[in-house]
Amino acid sequence: MGTSSFLERARALLHIQNQLARECLAELLAVLVLILITLSGSAQMVTSSETKGNILTVYLAGALAVMVSIYIAGGVSGAHLNPAFTLTMCLLEQFPWWKLPIFVAVQTLGAFIAAGIVYALYYDAIHHYSNGTLTASGPRETASIFATYPADYLSLSNGFLDQVIATALLIVGILAILDTRNKGVPKGLEPVVVALLVFSIEVSMNSNCGCPMNPARDFGPRLFTYVAGWGTEVFSRGNGWWWVPVVAPMLGAAVGSALYQLLVAFHHPLGPGTGPRPARPPAPHGLRGRGPWSGARPAEPQVSRGGGRPGKAAVGPGGPR
């Protein structure tokens, strides 16, 4: 039996018909790759005492991981990678609300699994660096490999504001990148530009709390560290910091969405001779979560309330480290 015959049989046997299931599998893999690369960069830096990596290499790894992950799932799930971006698409009526909890669960699961893989990959290095003691504080702490923690000077309120602002900036940038009625980005290069956006935010807004901007990226690995032996300190450190990178990015997503609509997207002119802008755009097409580069195009030009391509669940980043 030839290779092609085997592959054809395997595909026929394993092919999944359900659209939601396909989206979830693609999103799971994309988030897993994103967090695996991101946390590996952090683990390499920490366990080598910055002799085999530094904060800049961590930023670069995270940004490139965003790009790769969008290419992995962009045409299937939309590669949201981030609950904050999924919420954005729901708010802009480009993604159905009933899928929101499903995608959030899948994204968090992907991050949790990725954290487990990184722990296995760097198991000896982590235990050698920490002298066999897994802690979330102290000079040899290793919990920050997996989740973000605030600087000693940072208050919860300032940290919350930090994440609202950073995530709002992220969403504004993504909506601009995907807005075909704005400057636009050549088709297929959107993931590259999104990665550059993520990198720019990372190198400028990291010092307060690590700039998570992604609830799944932070909570999934944090939950893993709790299960794997770091204990309850992963939730209590920083005056109970853990909820800030879960809640604040969601609020930041709403703020960023509103800003782009109110200041840019609502004011795009329609084409010549098309009359005044309608009070409400037509219902979005293709609410199955496919990305804006899936190849499908609407027959008639439409104005997207979300600033993205009409009727497509735009691709979002998973956020930095």
What does 60-79 look like in DSSP terms, one character per residue? Answer: HHHHHHHHHHHHHHTTTT--
Name the DSSP class of 226.
I
Task: Provide the pLDDT for residue 271.
Answer: 62
d(CA 306, CA 112): 30
Within-domain flag for 10: no
Within a domain: 255: yes
Output the pLDDT for position 295. Answer: 36
Residue 308 lies in a domain: no
Q: What is the pLDDT of residue 67?
A: 97
Assigned domain for 48 exists: yes
User: Which tokens belong to 49?
Assistant: 């005492």
- Residue 3: its pLDDT value, please? 60
**Residue 318 belongs to some domain of the structure:** no
**Residue 215 counted as domain residue:** yes
Full residue range of the structural domain in which residue 206 is found: 20-266
Domain count, the chain: 1
CB atoms within 10 A of CB 203: 15
Distance CA 124, CA 31 (A): 25
If you ran DSSP here, which 8-state letter would residue 242 be given?
A: G
- Tell whether 134 is covered by a domain: yes
34 domain residue, yes or no: yes
pLDDT score for 11: 82
Q: If we measure between CA atoms, which residue out of 240, 235, 259, 256 comes closest to residue 82?
A: 256
Q: What is the pLDDT along the chain (321 residues), one digit of tens a residue?
A: 456 788 888 888 888 889 999 999 999 999 999 999 999 999 999 999 999 999 999 999 999 999 999 999 999 999 999 999 999 999 999 999 999 999 999 999 999 999 999 999 999 999 999 999 999 999 999 999 999 999 999 999 999 999 999 999 999 999 999 998 998 888 899 999 999 999 999 999 999 999 999 999 999 999 999 999 999 999 999 999 999 999 999 999 999 999 999 999 999 887 654 333 433 333 333 333 344 434 333 333 333 333 433 333 344 444 444
Q: What is the CATH number of the domain that holds 157?
A: 1.20.1080.10
